[in-house]
Amino acid sequence: MPALPRRAALSLAIALLGPLAGPLVGCASGPSADLYQTFGGQPGLVALVDDFMDGMMRDPDLRPYFVNANRPHIKAELAAQFCAILGGPCEYKGMDMKMAHARYGIGDHEFNALVQDLQDAMDLHHIPYRAQNRFLAMLAPYRDDVVHPAPPSRVRPLLTIAPDAVVVPETVPTGGPQNKPPPR
């Protein structure tokens, strides 16, 4: 059986382990000051998020979500969130993930592309695979809050009226409305 590409393997692992990852976050694989420092502390996270956003802007599947967005704000929120998740001294005060992503119609394809762009940014910063995997395991519980496929388009059915249901007068009254009271 051929090996899965790294993107597919990790995306599959996140999809399958997502519901189980919550309990794992409290284990030794959870947040720690050491893990935070492996990512370079706050300066490392800011640089990582910069490259992550650059990757998403180059990604044809993700660019439409960010092209008109306030990218500096999103990057600051991501850096704070990543810092808090990794065990750094930050506190994430942004929106919860479900509310922040609900209206965008993000499906599995876009989520997997985002994971790949994050992995590419972590590779660019030479973050060890073990640390990447720990971080991805901590992010996995957010998958269900982020993925909200767009509802099917609602096409209104054609209005069908029986031909004899509408009566059209042969002539249209002229002169506009009358101010006279109706006859008694």
Query: pLDDT per residue over 132-181, tens digit each?
Result: 999 999 999 999 889 987 665 666 556 566 666 666 667 766 665 556 66
Distance CA 26, CA 46 (A): 25
SS3 at position 155: coil
Asked if the structure places residue 177 within a domain, the reply is no
Asked if the structure places residue 58 within a domain, the reply is yes
Asked if the structure places residue 52 within a domain, the reply is yes
What is the residue whose two structure tokens read 């909200």? Answer: 148
CA proximity to 15, closest of 91, 109, 84:
109
Q: Is the separation of the CB atoms in 23 and 141 below 8 Å? A: no
pLDDT at 79: 95
Low pLDDT (below 50) residues in the chain: 1-4, 7-28
Asked if the structure places residue 126 within a domain, the reply is yes
Helix (H), strand (E) counts: the chain: 9, 0
pLDDT at 104: 83
Asked if the structure places residue 168 within a domain, the reply is no
Asked if the structure places residue 2 within a domain, the reply is no
pLDDT at 3: 43
pLDDT at 105: 83
Distance CA 184, CA 182 (A): 6
Q: Is the separation of the CB atoms in 138 and 85 below 8 Å? A: yes
Is 126 annotated as belonging to a binding site? no
Give the number of domains in the chain. Answer: 1
Asked if the structure places residue 23 within a domain, the reply is no
pLDDT at 87: 93
CA proximity to 66, closest of 125, 106, 121:
106
pLDDT at 97: 85
pLDDT at 23: 40
Tokens of 102: 């609900």
pTM: 0.67
Asked if the structure places residue 8 within a domain, the reply is no
Q: Is the separation of the CB atoms in 76 and 97 below 8 Å? A: no
pLDDT at 183: 67
Cβ neighbours for 3, distance < 8 A, ≥ 6 positions apart: 9
pLDDT at 56: 94
CA proximity to 101, closest of 56, 138, 69, 145:
145
Q: Which domain holds residue 60?
A: 33-146
CATH number, domain of 45, equals 1.10.490.10
CA proximity to 121, closest of 28, 42, 50:
50
Helix H segments across 25-178?
33-38, 41-58, 63-66, 71-86, 97-101, 108-124, 129-139, 143-146
